[in-house]
């Protein structure tokens, strides 16, 4: 083997025995080699322990690639910055689903396929009446999306490629309607039905903000901002919610149930609620004069105070999505003429201080996508309860693309993680009267 060639296998030897396991090393297009441990137990009588699967590849995928050390995010090989600047959300949806950017004819057909599914079955509308007005919108999304298989049984045959595609169209098309109606219901306003003459992003903003009593005015700056937010959140490799979708899908569950499972996983504050946590932090700081004391608390390890929206568990460098979101943030604030909002002023001051402070710069704790997206959404009038549903709306495209890839993967098998059992050893039952 030449000095530059990658090794093709790894060997594990069990200390104190003659047992050895030979593990093939697999090489992807990008990233480190991966040890194939599928025969580890049969060869060595052991299996691996990896809580959270942080060092384990659970699948093979061609959709998204992340290099956290270098701050790289690719959709099907395309840098996220190029797509956010030059593309549209529906074009990115096509790319994620089919692997290539569409030509004009392909895009028109795809756009038509999605647009013709924006309306909901009218009986689904009754679901909202079963929720309290103060129900969290994510609860509504979980319930309605999970129930869609009962209304669209013609597209739940996961072994039929065309039915999988129709399910994908329905989910991508209907999530804006479901999400907007969850918001309208919470504030007591009439539902606005989708308008197929508007773009994907503008249609969502219309259903969120329009009322029957007034004409609706389009805003290209806000439309583009929403489109970028959707693009930047469309997929993010094998995160908790995407892995949940794949795990549910590995059982043969229908796509609506799988996406509902992904929504439930995203609901957790450690996953989908990060931008909401940013605004909560800003509210707790309260005033720009309190920032120095807050920064001091963050630096004090004994205080357990966290600087939300800075740094990322994946990106050890600048979050590649953050620069785009920062630019979008300033565009939105400028368009809306927001100059004296205390919370937004506080956020901008905190950003400036943190970017100039060597403590944060040396640790590469730069503002991430959640820091700016929370500011943008607040400026656009979205309540914090709608932040995670918006995330789910965008991520549905990634989830369904990952689900489709999994179904078509010949190596796909039902998910069945192992465990390290630390409970009681086997013991015999003793009658209750005889127990001490």
Output the six-digit token pair for 399. 């989830």
CB 403 within 8 A of CB 416: no
Q: Any idea what DSSP says for residue 158? A: T
CA 60 to chain centre: 19
The position carrying tokens 């400036």 is 352
In order of 56, 79, 171, 372, the CA distances from 394 in angstroms are 26, 18, 11, 16
SS3 23: strand
CB 209 within 8 A of CB 190: no
CB 47 within 8 A of CB 416: no
Catalytic hit among 312, 356, 357, 409:
312
Output the six-digit token pair for 433. 């009267």
Using CA atoms, how far apart are residues 201 and 211, in angstroms rounded to an integer? 17
Look up 136 and say whether it is catalytic: no
Look up 121 and say whether it is catalytic: no
Q: What are phi and psi of 173, to 5 degrees?
A: -75, -35
Using CA atoms, how far apart are residues 343 and 281, in angstroms rounded to an integer? 10
What residues does 102 pair with on adjacent strands?
none
Output the six-digit token pair for 116. 């013709």
Nearest partner of 403 among 178, 163, 114, 228, judged by Cα: 163
Cα-Cα-Cα-Cα torsion 413, 419, 424, 427, nearest 10 degrees, comes to: 30
Catalytic hit among 69, 370, 409, 428:
370
Output the six-digit token pair for 182. 């969850």
* Active site residue ranges: 312, 370
């Amino acid at each position: 083997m030449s000095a530059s060639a990658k090794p093709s296998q790894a060997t594990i030897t069990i200390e104190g025995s003659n047992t050895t396991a030979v593990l093939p090393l697999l090489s992807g297009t990008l990233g480190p080699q991966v040890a194939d441990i599928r025969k580890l137990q049969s060869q060595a009588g052991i299996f691996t322990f990896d809580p959270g699967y942080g060092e384990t590849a659970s699948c093979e995928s061609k959709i998204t690639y992340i290099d956290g050390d270098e701050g790289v995010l690719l959709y099907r090989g395309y840098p996220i910055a190029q797509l956010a600047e030059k593309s549209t959300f529906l074009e990115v949806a096509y790319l994620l689903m089919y692997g290539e950017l569409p030509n004009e004819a392909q895009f028109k057909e795809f756009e038509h396929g999605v647009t013709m599914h924006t309306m909901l079955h009218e009986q689904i509308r009754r679901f909202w009446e079963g929720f309290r007005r103060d129900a969290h919108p994510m609860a509504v999304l979980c319930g309605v999306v999970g129930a869609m298989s009962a209304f669209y049984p013609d597209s739940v045959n996961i072994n039929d490629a065309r039915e999988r595609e129709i399910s994908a169209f329905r989910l991508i098309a209907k999530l804006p309607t479901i999400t907007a109606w969850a918001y309208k219901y919470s504030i007591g306003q009439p539902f606005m039905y989708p308008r197929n003459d508007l773009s994907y992003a503008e249609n969502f903003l219309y259903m969120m903000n329009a009322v029957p009593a007034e004409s609706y005015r389009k805003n290209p700056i806000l439309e583009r901002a929403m489109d970028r937010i959707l693009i930047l959140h469309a997929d993010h490799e094998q995160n908790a919610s995407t892995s949940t979708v794949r795990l549910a899908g590995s059982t043969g569950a229908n796509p609506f149930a799988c996406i509902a499972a992904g929504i439930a996983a995203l609901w957790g504050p450690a996953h989908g609620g990060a931008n909401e946590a940013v605004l909560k932090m800003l509210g707790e700081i309260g005033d720009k004069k309190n920032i120095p004391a807050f920064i001091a608390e963050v630096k004090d390890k004994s205080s357990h105070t966290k600087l939300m929206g800075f740094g990322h568990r994946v990106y050890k460098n600048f979050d590649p999505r953050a620069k785009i979101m920062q630019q979008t943030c300033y565009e939105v604030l400028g368009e809306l003429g927001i100059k004296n909002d205390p919370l937004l002023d506080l956020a901008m001051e905190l950003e400036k201080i943190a970017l100039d402070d060597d403590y944060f710069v040396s640790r590469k704790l730069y503002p991430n996508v959640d820091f700016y997206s929370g500011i943008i959404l607040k400026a656009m009038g979205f309540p914090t309860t709608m932040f995670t549903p918006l995330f789910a709306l965008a991520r549905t495209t990634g989830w369904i693309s990952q689900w489709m890839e999994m179904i078509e993967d010949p190596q796909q098998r039902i998910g069945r993680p192992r465990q390290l059992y630390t409970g009681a050893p086997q013991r015999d039952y003793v009658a209750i009267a005889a127990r001490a």
